[in-house]
Amino acid sequence: MPDPLRRMLSLHDFEAAARRILPKPLYAYVSGAVEDGQSERSNRQAFGEYGFRPKVLVDVSRRHTRCTILGREYAAPVGVAPMGIAALTSYRGDVALARAAAAAGVPCIMSGSSLIRLETVMAAAPGTWFQAYLPGDSAQIAALIDRVAAAGVETLVLTVDTPVAANRENNVRAGFSTPLRPSASLAWQGITHPRWLIGTLLRTLARHGMPHFENNYATRGAPILSRHVLRDFSDRGHLNWQHVAAIRRTWKGRMVLKGILHPDDARSARAHGMDAVIVSNHGGRQLDGSLAPLQALPAIVDTAGGMDVMLDSGVRRGTDVLKALALGARCVFVGRPFNYAATVAGERGVAHAIALITEEVRRDMGLLGIVDLREVDPGLLQRGR
């Protein structure tokens, strides 16, 4: 049987392959944005607003992609973004993503909306960052943070752009919900996508039982497939900077806020002792019409002080990575393409995807006349192509 990865020449190529494998509701969940998709489109379009000004006749024979993030050296400035229910779109998806990132020497953020216990992932890939959605009350928050610390997590990422549930109409139209509700339509989707049914769902059920939401709280959450149980989306509308301050007082490791688009929030993050922020609009999955992270990045870098600034949402090419770095990002995170890569070929697929974009960065550095990523600065860019 031919190796499917031979046809994967860029991150874009994984989506079509994954779409053939995944049932329609799951593909819709991963690929979809919110409402009219304005934010998702803007995320990609923002990179096209900048053109490069390369330097020539530079000896680039010894260039490298190494970088330092939160005081640690990584092999490349590209990481794996947190993605919920990854273990339903590929077998043991969270483990596959984390192990591939660890082997490649790049950061990986595990999602709090995952179906594999964080302790299992940390054992498989020590050094993985953990992204938490804060529960609805202080006691639950404290218990979750205690559990995360006990699991050996060193870098805690708090996602702060989800105070209320987003209006993801595409999920409703595609028949996706969490938990998934048994139906004739869902059964038909499984039957007509046998590779997913056998290789992911049935394999998971046989070896690990029914997946549950394992990491939203200190205790186990709802099962992924249920006719009656509703997943507990505790109201986060009351969460504020006081909750962040309370966590900072007790959390001994590195702490990052994800979902920052306003410079005032970057200032507040710095004042509350954050080590870094991730400029993000949640991949266009929360507020439609929000600013693209690349557009928001320069103002946030200006107010960041000593914090590392990172970015996600819309990154697909090595040139995207370098544009974000030129505008002040320390590194970027990629979501959907790595999810698709895991669907296509598990850990090996993710490793291939990481290698593709890392090599693009290295090649583009050569074409720009850059040997070290510390040379990347705003002078390489011109806006208004």
Query: What angle, 0 to 180 degrees and rounded to 10, lies between the N-to-C axes of helices 13-21 and 24-31?
Result: 150
Q: Is 282 a catalytic residue?
A: yes
Query: Across the chain, how many H-helices and E-strands are there?
Result: 16, 12
Residues 336 and 30: beta-carbon distance below 8 Å: yes
Rounded Cα–Cα distance for residues 122 and 154 (Å): 10
- DSSP codes, 268-330: HHHHTT-SEEEE--GGGTSSTTPPPHHHHHHHHHHH-TTSEEEEESS--SHHHHHHHHHTT-S
Q: 365: how many CB neighbours lie within 10 A of its CB?
A: 22
Catalytic residue among 64, 208, 262, 282: 282
How large is the angle between the packed helices 318-326 and 38-47, nearest 10 degrees?
Answer: 80
Helix axes 336-368, 24-31, angle to 10 degrees: 40
As annotated, the active-site residues are 282
